[in-house]
Amino acid sequence: MDSSPTPHSLLASHVFLSFLLSPNAPVFTLFTPLSFLSFLRSIRRSFKNNNSSNNSQQRPKRKRNSKNKKNPENDEAEPNSTNSQHKLDVRVLLSLFEKLVSVMSLIHLDRFPESLKSLIQTISEVPLTAIESCGDEFQYSKLVSLCSRILKEVLKPEHGEPSETAAEVLKSLSSIAPMPKSQVRTFAVSFVTSLARDSDGVRRALVNFPRYLAIKAPDKAEPRGMSVEFIMEVVRVMELEDQIGFVKYVVKMTQGKGNLRLLGVDLILKLLTTLKDPLGVNSMVEEEEGKEAWGMRCLEALVKRCSDVSAMTRARAISNLAQVVGLLSCSDRATVVLKKFMGFGDGNNVTVGGKGINELLRRRCVDEKAVVRKAALLLVTKLTALLGGAIDEVVLKTMGMACSDSLSSIRKAAVEALSEAFKTFSAETVITEWLHSVPRQIADNETSIQEECENVFEELVLDRISRGAASSSSYIGPTSGSKEKEKGVDEEMQMSFPPGILYLLREICNGEVSPWVKKICTNLGKKKRLKHKIVTALQNIIKVSESIWLNHSKPIEKWTAPSGAWFLLSEVSVFLPKAVDWDFLHHHWQLLDKHKVKGEFQSPFVQKNANGEEESIECNNVAWASDRVFLLQTISNVSIELPPEPAADLAHNLLKRVEKFNMHSTEVDAHVKALKTLCKRKASNDMEAEALVLKWVDQVLSRASRIIETFISDNSEQDAETGFFTPPRSGPSKGRKSVRKRKSLSKAITAIYTIGSLVIVCPSADMSAVTPLLHTIITSGNSGPKLNKLPGPATTLQQEAPSFYIQGWLAMGKLCLADGKLAKNYIPLFVQELEKSDAAALRNNIVVMMADFCVRYTALIDGYQLYNQDHKVSFRSL
């Protein structure tokens, strides 16, 4: 049968089986091992030849050689050749297999073990080899069904010991376990799982089959994963005792060789997430020790592998533990057991495997392998729900540091972990770490991380503030006889809003956080993702704060809004000007403009050089100035929507404030910017707006020039007096003259700073009267023979009024940015001052200005690279 061509051999096989099935046929006489093996070889050869024929048809045909030269390959292509290959007719095989099923009940293969083994191997290979031969899915399904029936017949006692036969069948099917999902794999899974309902001997073989598959599992990740899934299909249909026995085997695997430890870690994940009640929380009988303990054994083994010597095993164990925690924590009972196991029940002090889970997280979050660090961050994210309101500070700091990791995947995982902690807890430590680590990711070079940063900021900051403020929108101040009035203002403010809202607003104003908040708000605004409810919420927070302050009979001139409220409102109002209530802004502007802080609010430059009792300013004064600045920015943003008359009145008031030169530097910038915006609103066209801006700029410049000139003149006449020594002399003030000098210095500093702000707002303004004054200031500290010939006082403002001297350089730098000719003349002076100045503040400011010059006047700066090479300054790198 096996030596003839395929059609002939199949026909002979049909004849052989028909003889065996004929009535009164002498089966034991006709059936011989040799004939049966020949029959099986014909089946295998039919599939093999058909597959090779299909492959040969896909190859390009070769040209024939010369006429007289014969080629064996060409002979195979001849239709009448004995080696010709014919397409396999599946219907012939189906009929043949149907007869074989009937024959299996007539023959006993227990006497012929080689024939039995060959039959099992042949039939087990048919589903794999026949997949290309079958024309449609129906034919293949019918063929696979017949194969399954044949293998079931093989397991009967007349063909040998069922346990041994089943082991041979399962062994022959084990090669399918690592294969990807297909019809072949479906057949194998269906057949193997159906054996769970068979005899005891077959079930014993089935119980040992998962262990055999585990030993034979490949090392590559994808085939290993398919083997794990196949194993779990088998374990799922096993009895509970057999499942527990396999669990114990897997736990022992995690203590073996490296490949077995890795496979055991993957199997534990599937066992805990697939089988029912792994932690025994639904067990009604406590005596069922196995059912109660097997899940805990798996968890212990998984935690131990989190410190494995192999980085791949560590990463997989941590990642799998995170998945287990995420899935099992959905149940309240399982959550209690997990918290107890992880050690979060009593102050995070319980240990697992001799090491606390927090200690494990600390180590793995800074592991040398990136895949382990990423898995550890995922575990922290999943454990957040189990932490009971307290996160280990070291772990929290480690997550913050991971946001600056060199790998984008680690940074993204750290952002997700910190954000999950922020969603769950409103603790100040969590809020602080989140604000100092996540918003700065808006400057990341990965677009996906930037988008994630925007999403979590919108959800955790803007939406949280909106919801929290909405809950207090119906606030009504307490009556005079209520107990609420006895409480402090701060305490009542905290009670008026959900926990963490006021602290979140306060931390947003932090100097390390606010630049990133501005950028995020700008990005969200450009994408039109800012909602009107955030503006309403911020206005409500400010109103509630004012109401509580007045209800406690506090003087309104000492009231300041919650830190961060005005700042955030100023940022979002750029894109939501119509959402801001003008009456609300007008009321608070009158409030802040009418009530001045107690005492003179000086420039911070003067504070550093004044006497000891005047070195500091009350925090209330600083908050008051900050509120004014951010309120002005908000007004500037909203002024486009203002009617012309209110805009004109507000511009007049702002101009009067600027001309007094008694504001903080940040207030100056806000006033000047608001003035320019209001002028555009007041004017009917662009030309008129430009004329209005130039008019008030010239007016302010004239006043500022007179103040500066007067200060320089007074200083040159009284250079022998001691009122301007730096550092200041110890001792009491020197009377009215000393106070007058300090006020004059403060006013001059504000005036010179105002000049710099005006240059930025209106570069086209006439600075011819200001330039000589600034030249006098910046050259007053030079003592070279050439510089002594320059016009100016003989006194050194650098020593007597260093703050004024530094502001002179800053203002000159801004003028140079607006005027190229002026920059060409004064850049050498900037370079010279950078080299010889002993004032660190001045050198830092000049470096910043030189960076701007590099962008604006690259050719002028290039000439000074060699000149500054010895001083380790590279202007090109700026």
Q: For the whole prediction, is pTM greater than 0.85?
A: no
- The parent domain of residue 707 ranges over 650-816
845 and 831 co-located in one domain = yes
Q: Last residue of some domain: 774, 799, 816?
A: 816
671 and 780 co-located in one domain = yes
675 and 793 co-located in one domain = yes
| C-alpha distances in Å from residue 635, one per residue of 147, 522, 564, 666 | 83, 17, 16, 15
Return d(Cα 305, Cα 445) in angstroms, integer.
35
801 and 827 co-located in one domain = no
842 and 798 co-located in one domain = no
716 and 753 co-located in one domain = yes
- Compute the average pLDDT of residues 842-859: 88
663 and 776 co-located in one domain = yes
Tally of domains in the chain: 2
**Over the range 291-323, which residues count as b (16 or more CB within 10 Å of their CB) and which as e?**
bbebbebbbebbbbbbebeeebbbbbbbbbbbe
657 and 794 co-located in one domain = yes
- Look at residue 165 and tell me if it is in a domain: no
- Look at residue 759 and tell me if it is in a domain: yes
Q: Which pLDDT value is given to residue 238?
A: 92
- What pLDDT, in 10s, does the model give residues 504-542? 999 998 889 999 999 999 999 999 999 999 999 999 999
Q: Last residue of some domain: 765, 786, 816?
A: 816
Residue carrying structure tokens 């998945």:
323
837 and 689 co-located in one domain = no
Q: Which pLDDT value is given to residue 794?
A: 47
Q: Which of 456, 422, 446, 423 is nearest to 524 (CA)?
A: 456
Q: Last residue of some domain: 816, 836, 868?
A: 816
- Look at residue 845 and tell me if it is in a domain: yes
Q: Which pLDDT value is given to residue 796?
A: 67
Return d(Cα 199, Cα 629) in angstroms, integer.
86
- What pLDDT, in 10s, does the model give residues 671-698? 888 888 888 777 778 788 888 888 888 9
Q: What confidence category does residue 582 fall into, taking pLDDT thresholds of 50, 70 and 90? A: confident
- Look at residue 859 and tell me if it is in a domain: yes
Q: For residues 226 and 492, which has the higher predicted lDDT (pLDDT)?
A: 226
- Look at residue 735 and tell me if it is in a domain: yes
Contacts of 545 (CB under 8 A, 6+ apart): 493, 559, 561, 562, 565
* 778, 782, 786, 792 alpha-carbon torsion, rounded to 10°: 50
User: Do residues 539 and 569 make contact, with C-beta atoms less than 8 angstroms apart?
Assistant: yes
Among the residue ranges 173-177, 230-234, 279-283, 326-330, the one predicted with the least confidence is 279-283
721 and 807 co-located in one domain = yes
Does 602 score more than 50 pLDDT?
no
Contacts of 229 (CB under 8 A, 6+ apart): 270
830 and 808 co-located in one domain = no
- Look at residue 584 and tell me if it is in a domain: no
Among the residue ranges 651-660, 750-759, 864-873, the one predicted with the least confidence is 864-873
- Look at residue 42 and tell me if it is in a domain: no
768 and 825 co-located in one domain = no
- Look at residue 529 and tell me if it is in a domain: no
